[in-house]
């Protein structure tokens, strides 16, 4: 194994200083992974900085004037050197156990680029009998797969962060494919831009498409659509068309939209007065009273102008075709939620497609309504299981995927939305979030501290970088590493699902990945018909 340098200085708090051997600089990168070997221990470190040094500063001036390349090279070897700053992360014992770094290597210890065996010992392997490990990428140097623990990932909320254009959707789709393939979680994806279910744009930006999760796993993924016409135009049919009664809209759903709808506080107060009078039918009564708003205001105690403003702001909801009155489709919300629970019980993930309805208002409203009802139903299911473990089947771990997460989890909304509740519950009720966002600084800091695993692509804003690293150990060192990431294809992974922070070249969501899935025993044949799902659930 090639030695890349020796340790000159070691401090557990301040890190190690590694003097690189000549001509090894190209093997060491900020964010890279280095192994320092002792007789009985191996220290695994993250490269946090690189710097040039000289034992004789005057030699620099001399070298620049010498034209003989042999003499110049000799002087460089004698007086110039490169140092790498290392942050100790883990210590691996001879018995194969590892723990957080608590000791330092002796002077002049040799450092190496971590071997395939070293990486497998720390990050696991897809060949592991637990079937929990999924290759998410490769280190900056070498092609050995770096694995993430999907079991740990699903147990706590996680996040994918990065500015626009860094490939967040591809990373998210990759993670979800691993969870579905290895049966570590069932997922519900609020697919705002129709990128997860069927065909989607390829990662290289070309005018080609790649298969979505429904295409890859036809018997393990179902599509629920708010816009079945749009789904059919893209060459497929939804398994379920979503319709919801207006009675399903609660006051807290509207409060989530306060900024988007530009609702004045007096209009919000009018909404609360309506709800106090008419309970769940408050919105139906508001829309029905379009010509008698003054009369309705007198009956509820609301100000007529405030009630009129509320009516104008919310009128767009009535025009959405997937909302129905209870007289047209009694119990439709219950039917949709029951169908979702039925699919989840059978281990089938759900992609909720929005079709043409991609406005932020529509996305926030639908995601909040469905998640609130699902959380309530799943809460009851978990309580039943915990009360009778011997007879009741254990619920599947459920991951809810939301994009534009800061709209749900900002400081103003996090405490009143169901997503904030789920993020704080940790793994208590078998539900976790996978939040995808380009502005983590807009997410409530308490929520960020509860996110167990973070996959961070390039971020430009200092506030976003600081927010993404909230709660992470060695945040200052990791901040320097984040600033060196390429604009696409590189991510920093930290948290619960991985033993130590590491920068990787992200695995590509391409034909090679699809071929690997087909070789694994857990993946169904891609030509399975989507109607098989309906037959599985309902027998017809």
User: Rounded to two decimals, what is the model's pTM?
Assistant: 0.88
**Banded pLDDT at 207 (limits 50, 70, 90):** low
Does 205 have pLDDT greater than 90? no
Residue 140 lies in a domain: no
- Checking DSSP bridges between strand 221-225 and strand 158-161, what pairing results, if any? unpaired
Smallest CA-to-CA distance from 409 within 422, 396, 397 is with 422
- Checking DSSP bridges between strand 490-495 and strand 221-225, what pairing results, if any? unpaired
pLDDT at residue 401 in the model: 96
* Per-residue pLDDT tens digits for 8-63: 999 998 999 999 988 888 889 898 889 998 888 899 999 999 998 887 777 767 77
Interatomic CA distance for residues 159 and 146, integer angstroms: 18
- Does residue 287 sit in the same domain as residue 407? no
Strand runs (DSSP E) across 416-515, as ranges?
431-437, 453-456, 490-495, 502-506
Residue 130 lies in a domain: no
Burial string for 322-352 (b: 16+ CB within 10 Å, else e) reads bbbbbeeeeebbebbbebbbebbeeebbbbb
Percent of the chain with pLDDT over 70: 93
* Per-residue pLDDT tens digits for 37-48: 888 889 999 999
**Average confidence (pLDDT) over 221-240:** 90
Lowest-confidence pick of 185-189, 277-281, 293-297, 426-430 = 426-430
Percent of the chain with pLDDT over 90: 47
- Does residue 78 sit in the same domain as residue 179? no
Lowest-confidence pick of 23-27, 70-74, 143-147, 237-241 = 70-74
Does 536 have pLDDT greater than 80? no
- Which of 92, 114, 136 is at the close of a domain? 114
Per-residue DSSP letters for 27-43?
G--TT-EEEEE-SSEEE
Does 402 have pLDDT greater than 90? yes
Burial string for 65-78 (b: 16+ CB within 10 Å, else e) reads eeeeeeeeeebeee
**Banded pLDDT at 492 (limits 50, 70, 90):** very high
- Checking DSSP bridges between strand 186-191 and strand 33-37, what pairing results, if any? unpaired
Greatest pairwise CA separation for the chain in angstroms:
97
Domain count, the chain: 3
Which secondary-structure segment (H or E) carries 47? strand 41-54
Residue 125 lies in a domain: no
Q: Average pLDDT of the chain?
A: 86
Smallest CA-to-CA distance from 420 within 180, 266, 255, 259 is with 255
Residue 132 lies in a domain: no
pLDDT at residue 33 in the model: 87
Q: Residue 402's beta-bridge partner residues?
A: 435
pLDDT at residue 206 in the model: 57
Say which CATH number the domain at 506 has: 3.40.50.300
Does 332 have pLDDT greater than 70? no
- Checking DSSP bridges between strand 186-191 and strand 398-403, what pairing results, if any? parallel
* Per-residue pLDDT tens digits for 66-116: 777 777 777 777 778 899 999 999 998 888 788 899 889 988 899 998 888
Residue 524 DSSP label: P
**Banded pLDDT at 255 (limits 50, 70, 90):** confident
Helix, strand, or coil (residue 134): strand
Contact partners, residue 320, CB within 8 Å, separation at least 6: 357, 362
**Banded pLDDT at 326 (limits 50, 70, 90):** low
Task: Show the domain range for 24.
Answer: 3-114
- Does residue 168 sit in the same domain as residue 55? no
Residue keyed to tokens 């961070």: 456
Residue 131 lies in a domain: no
- Does residue 234 sit in the same domain as residue 302? no
């Amino acid at each position: 194994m090639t030695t890349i340098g020796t340790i000159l200085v070691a401090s557990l708090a301040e890190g190690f200083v590694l003097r690189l051997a000549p001509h090894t600089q190209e093997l060491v990168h900020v964010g890279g992974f280095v192994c320092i070997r002792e007789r009985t221990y191996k220290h695994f470190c993250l490269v946090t900085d690189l710097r040039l040094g000289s034992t004789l500063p005057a030699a620099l001036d001399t070298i620049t004037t010498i034209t003989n390349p042999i003499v110049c090279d000799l002087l460089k070897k004698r007086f110039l050197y490169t140092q790498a700053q290392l942050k100790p992360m883990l210590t691996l014992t001879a018995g194969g156990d590892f723990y957080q770094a608590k000791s330092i290597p002796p002077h002049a210890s040799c450092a190496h680029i971590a071997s395939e065996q070293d990486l497998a010992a720390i990050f696991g392997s897809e060949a592991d009998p637990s079937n929990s490990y999924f290759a998410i990428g490769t280190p900056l140097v070498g092609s050995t797969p770096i694995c993430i623990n999907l079991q740990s990932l699903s147990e706590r909320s996680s996040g994918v962060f990065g500015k626009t254009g860094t490939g967040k959707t591809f990373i998210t789709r990759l993670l979800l494919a691993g969870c579905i393939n290895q049966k570590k979680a069932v997922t519900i994806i609020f697919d705002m831009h129709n990128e997860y279910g069927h065909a989607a744009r390829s990662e290289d930006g070309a005018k080609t498409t790649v298969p979505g999760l429904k295409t890859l796993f036809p018997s393990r993924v179902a599509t629920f659509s708010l816009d079945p016409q749009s789904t059919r135009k893209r060459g497929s049919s939804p398994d379920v068309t979503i319709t919801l009664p207006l009675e399903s809209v609660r006051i807290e759903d509207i409060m989530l939209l306060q900024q988007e709808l530009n609702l004045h506080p007096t209009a919000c107060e009018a909404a609360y007065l309506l709800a106090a009078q008419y309970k769940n039918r408050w919105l139906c009564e508001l829309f029905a009273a379009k010509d008698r708003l003054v009369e309705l205001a007198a009956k509820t105690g609301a100000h007529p102008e405030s009630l009129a403003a509320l009516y104008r702001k919310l009128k767009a909801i009535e025009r959405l075709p997937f909302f129905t009155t209870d007289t047209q489709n009694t119990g439709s919300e219950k039917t949709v939620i029951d169908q979702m629970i039925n699919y989840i019980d059978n281990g089938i993930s759900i992609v909720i497609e929005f079709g043409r309805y991609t406005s932020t208002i529509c996305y926030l409203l639908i995601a909040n309504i469905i998640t609130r009802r699902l959380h309530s139903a799943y809460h009851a299911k978990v309580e039943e299981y915990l009360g009778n473990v011997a007879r009741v089947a254990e619920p599947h771990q459920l991951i809810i995927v939301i994009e534009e997460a800061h709209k749900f989890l900002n400081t103003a909304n996090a405490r009143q939305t169901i997503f904030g509740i789920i993020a704080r519950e940790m793994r208590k009720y078998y539900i976790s979030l996978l939040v995808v966002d380009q502005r983590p600084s807009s997410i409530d800091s308490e929520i960020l501290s509860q996110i167990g695993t973070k996959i961070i692509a390039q971020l430009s804003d200092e506030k976003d970088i600081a927010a993404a690293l909230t709660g992470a150990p060695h945040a200052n060192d990791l901040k320097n590493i984040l600033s060196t990431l390429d604009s696409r294809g590189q991510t920093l992974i930290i948290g619960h699902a991985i033993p130590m922070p590491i920068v990787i070249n992200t695995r590509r969501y391409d034909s090679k990945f699809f071929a690997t899935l087909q070789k694994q025993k857990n993946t169904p044949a891609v030509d399975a018909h989507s109607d098989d799902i309906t037959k599985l659930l309902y027998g017809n």
